[in-house]
């Protein structure tokens, strides 16, 4: 019979082992000759592996020193308590110990009994804790294999298999590999463990009930799902599955152990298994957080802000880019983000005559500013002979007269530049040299806006009114969107200009989960009309509170042909994709200034909602909606049926227009 080979390894460095032997021997001397009561225990363990066996056993070494006697060969060296304390404070300084207790002064007789205490489970658990603290502990497959070895040692089961996967329950992501943790038993067979076809499987039940589940023999499971059948095909007969939770108590992963032997996993194994779930939960959560941070960095870098309804798509693209960068950092490029066959809805609440109102405010402020300049120039001319004052007076009068006749944007910049570069330096000099003008000039500068250096009253009041109106409309739309998104997620983006305009896209390709139907589209169209009526009322009720009363005209573009949208990396926003779909954008931008055919009347009017359409079916649909709005008291009077005048490159547009009931 051939004897088996045994491999052993001390789990401590040789230098520490030698140090321990010296200190333990000296401790026995201190106990016998100096009245100390020190424990003599070797601080190291030994690992033993039999040849041909896959598992290591770990043992703690204990000494029994009762069979040792120490004889004194030379006179005992006196030691003070201070010297002994110094030795105990420096146990790694063997030179100090041997200096106070010279080896040639003592002789040991007898023998030491060494006991090996099995600490395999404790050692395996300790190593598991250490390994799970490493950054890529649960991401790299080689690390999972190492963890499996430790788990086998922990349970003492050499054929045990370890499985681990990151999930979200309830499932929010189509990409189960998003966190790069997919090492479950069925990783190569099942795209998603929690897919609908796997309902009531052991995995789904573990997540649903939030408990550890044990199946001692998979062949005896009643009403087995495809998951249990697949596990049997993978050679698993006995299995324990546990959900892993984050600090918010959400399921973020699944941990499993399996055995090819039925009943090898039982309730006692389950008790020990529960000790591991907390460790793996922390490791999975940390790895998920790290990957989330990396994906978020890529999203900010590549896409800036992202609407919540399509965030899932950007996360998938960011994850794919992260993997590409790991393989080939130089040539990695982000995947294009395209949503096909989506239905658009466009709307705007435009401030009526905004350009004229803004220009009127600018002219009023510039005229006020120039009049104040003129008064100071006249006072200066009366006080002294200063020809430049007369020259500036001439320019001031010309500018004032010009503002009364006609105004364009160049006039504003030209006059403001002249005030800053010529007039104000002159006034600063006059304030220092002409004491009679000091007070007047100081009052002039006090009347100017501190940031702009010009009179800014009328325009400030106008801009304040625009801002209040925009914020009120935008806030209303934001609140309505929260409710609309609950019905079916869709893309929404609003823009503030002189009023608020917005784009909505809805369709199956935008959905991470759920099913789109044309009823959702029609519901959103009606919802949009109701919102436009409410916005009209909102603006009407704000008139008395605004510094400058303003009104809005509401416009809706009914375009029922599905199109594709693409995220433009250069502009960091969505736009229609391909030449055919560009027609929608052209139409959308040009109907804003449209006139009614054969007239000078603008299609959009204060207090009204205009719906521009191309197809007769849209006319009929919106007439039905208008009938509902009339019945519910949103609108009043007759619905106007209009033909839109020719626009550049656009013809054949029609419109419905109705008056909103505001009181």
Whether pLDDT at 3 is above 50: no
Residue 301 confidence class, pLDDT cut points 50, 70, 90 = low
Residue-level pLDDT at 7: 52
| CA 461 vs CA 387, 447, 544: distances in Å | 38, 15, 14
Calculate what percentage of the chain has a pLDDT beyond 70: 92
The overall pTM is greater than 0.75: no
Three-state DSSP at 256 gives strand
Residue 174 confidence class, pLDDT cut points 50, 70, 90 = very low
Residue 579 confidence class, pLDDT cut points 50, 70, 90 = low
**Domain residue limits at 401:** 354-455
Render pLDDT for 220-231 as a digit per residue (tens, 0 to 9): 999 899 999 999
User: Does 613 lie in the same domain as 505?
Assistant: yes
Number of Cβ atoms within 10 Å of the Cβ of 23: 21
Average pLDDT, rounded, for the chain: 87
- Of the residues 118, 149, 174, the one at which a domain ends: 118
Residue-level pLDDT at 53: 64
User: Does 184 lie in the same domain as 52?
Assistant: no
- Of the residues 301, 320, 346, the one at which a domain ends: 301
Render pLDDT for 32-59 as a digit per residue (tens, 0 to 9): 999 898 887 766 667 777 666 667 777 8
Render pLDDT for 517-564 as a digit per residue (tens, 0 to 9): 999 999 999 999 999 999 999 999 999 999 999 999 999 999 999 998
Whether 366 is in a domain gets the answer yes
- Please count the structural domains in the chain: 4
Whether 310 is in a domain gets the answer no
User: Does 290 lie in the same domain as 375?
Assistant: no
User: Does 392 lie in the same domain as 475?
Assistant: no
Whether 331 is in a domain gets the answer no
User: Does 586 lie in the same domain as 476?
Assistant: yes
Averaged over 640-655, what is the pLDDT? Answer: 88
Whether 320 is in a domain gets the answer no
CA dihedral 375, 381, 384, 389 (to 10 degrees): 100
User: Does 634 lie in the same domain as 499?
Assistant: yes
- Of the residues 102, 118, 134, the one at which a domain ends: 118
| CA 162 vs CA 159, 568, 646: distances in Å | 10, 44, 71
Render pLDDT for 102-157 as a digit per residue (tens, 0 to 9): 999 999 999 988 888 888 788 888 888 888 888 778 888 888 999 998 899 888 89
List 350's β-bridge partners, or say none. 499, 553
Residue 173 confidence class, pLDDT cut points 50, 70, 90 = very low
Q: How many residues does the chain have?
A: 663
Residue 379 confidence class, pLDDT cut points 50, 70, 90 = very high
User: Does 410 lie in the same domain as 468?
Assistant: no
Q: Do residues 264 and 156 make contact, with C-beta atoms less than 8 angstroms apart?
A: no
User: Does 652 lie in the same domain as 596?
Assistant: yes
* Three-state helix/strand/coil letters over 490-525: CEEEEEEECEEEEEEEECHHHCCCCCCCHHHHHHHH
User: Does 164 lie in the same domain as 89?
Assistant: no
User: Does 552 lie in the same domain as 469?
Assistant: yes
Contacts for 478-485: CB closer than 8 Å, 24+ residues apart = 480/527, 480/531, 484/524, 484/527, 485/308, 485/309
Residue-level pLDDT at 204: 92
Residue 569 confidence class, pLDDT cut points 50, 70, 90 = low
Q: Do residues 529 and 367 make contact, with C-beta atoms less than 8 angstroms apart?
A: no
Whether 236 is in a domain gets the answer yes
Whether 346 is in a domain gets the answer no
Whether 335 is in a domain gets the answer no
Q: What is the DSSP letter of 419?
A: I
User: Does 127 lie in the same domain as 114?
Assistant: no
User: Does 264 lie in the same domain as 385?
Assistant: no
Residue 2 confidence class, pLDDT cut points 50, 70, 90 = very low
Whether 312 is in a domain gets the answer no
């Amino acid at each position: 019979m051939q004897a088996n080979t045994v491999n052993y390894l001390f789990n401590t460095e040789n230098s520490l082992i030698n140090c321990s032997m010296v200190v333990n021997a000296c401790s026995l001397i201190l106990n016998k000759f100096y009245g100390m009561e020190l424990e003599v225990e070797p601080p190291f363990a030994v690992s033993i592996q039999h040849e041909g066996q896959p598992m290591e056993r770990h043992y703690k070494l204990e000494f029994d020193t009762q069979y040792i006697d120490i004889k004194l060969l030379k006179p005992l060296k006196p030691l003070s308590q201070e010297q002994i304390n110094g030795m105990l404070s420096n146990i790694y300084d063997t030179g100090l110990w041997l200096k106070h207790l010279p080896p040639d002064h003592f002789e040991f007789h007898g023998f030491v009994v060494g006991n090996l205490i099995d600490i395999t489970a404790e050692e395996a658990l300790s190593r598991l804790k250490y390994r799970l603290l490493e950054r890529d502990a649960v991401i790299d497959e080689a690390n999972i294999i190492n963890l499996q070895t430790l788990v086998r040692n922990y349970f003492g089961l050499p054929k045990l298999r370890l499985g681990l996967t990151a999930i979200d329950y309830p499932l929010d992501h189509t990409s189960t590999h998003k966190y790069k943790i997919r090492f479950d038993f069925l990783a190569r067979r099942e795209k998603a463990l929690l897919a609908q076809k796997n309902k009531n499987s052991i995995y789904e039940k573990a997540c649903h009930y939030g408990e550890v589940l044990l199946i001692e023999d998979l062949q005896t499971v009643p009403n087995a799902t495809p998951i249990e059948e697949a596990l049997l095909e993978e050679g698993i007969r006995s299995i324990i599955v546990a959900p892993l939770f984050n600090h918010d108590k959400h399921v973020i992963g699944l941990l499993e152990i399996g055995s090819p032997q039925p009943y090898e996993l039982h309730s006692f194994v389950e008790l020990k298994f529960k000790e591991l779930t907390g460790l793996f939960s922390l490791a999975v959560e940390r790895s998920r957080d790290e990957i989330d941070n990396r994906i978020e960095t890529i999203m900010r870098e590549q896409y800036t802000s992202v609407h919540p309804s399509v965030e899932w798509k950007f996360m998938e693209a960011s994850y794919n880019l992260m993997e590409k960068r790991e393989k080939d950092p130089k040539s990695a490029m982000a995947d294009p983000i395209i949503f096909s066959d989506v239905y658009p809805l466009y709307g705007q609440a435009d401030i009526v005559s905004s350009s004229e109102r803004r220009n009127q405010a600018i002219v009023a402020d510039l005229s006020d500013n120039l009049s104040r300049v003129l008064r100071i120039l006249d006072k200066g001319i009366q006080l002294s002979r200063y020809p430049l004052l007369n020259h500036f007076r001439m320019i001031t009068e010309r500018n004032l007269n010009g503002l009364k006749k006609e105004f364009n944007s160049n006039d504003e910049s030209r006059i403001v530049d002249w005030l800053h570069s010529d007039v104000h330096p002159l006034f600063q000099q006059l304030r220092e040299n002409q004491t009679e003008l000091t007070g007047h000039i100081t009052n002039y500068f006090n009347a100017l806006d501190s940031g702009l250096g010009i009179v800014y009253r009328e325009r400030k009041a106008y801009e304040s009114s625009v801002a209040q109106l925009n914020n009120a409309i935008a806030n209303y739309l934001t609140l309505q969107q929260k409710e609309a998104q609950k019905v079916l997620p869709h893309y929404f983006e609003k823009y503030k200009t002189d009023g608020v305009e917005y784009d909505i896209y809805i369709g199956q390709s935008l959905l991470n989960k759920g099913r789109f139907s044309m009823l959702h589209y029609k519901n959103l169209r009606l919802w949009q009309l109701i919102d436009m009526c409410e916005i009209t009322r909102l603006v009407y009720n704000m008139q008395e509170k605004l510094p400058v009363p303003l009104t809005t005209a509401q416009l809706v573009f009914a375009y029922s042909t599905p199109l594709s949208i693409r995220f433009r990396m250069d502009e960091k926003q969505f736009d229609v994709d391909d030449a055919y779909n560009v027609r929608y954008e052209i139409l959308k931008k040009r109907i804003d200034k449209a006139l009614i055919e054969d007239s000078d009347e603008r299609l959009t009017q204060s207090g009204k909602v205009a719906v521009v359409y191309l197809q007769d079916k849209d006319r009929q649909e919106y007439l039905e909606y208008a009938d509902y709005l009339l019945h519910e008291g949103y609108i009043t009077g007759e619905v106007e049926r209009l033909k839109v005048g020719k626009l550049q490159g656009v013809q054949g547009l029609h419109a419905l227009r109705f008056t909103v009931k505001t009181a």
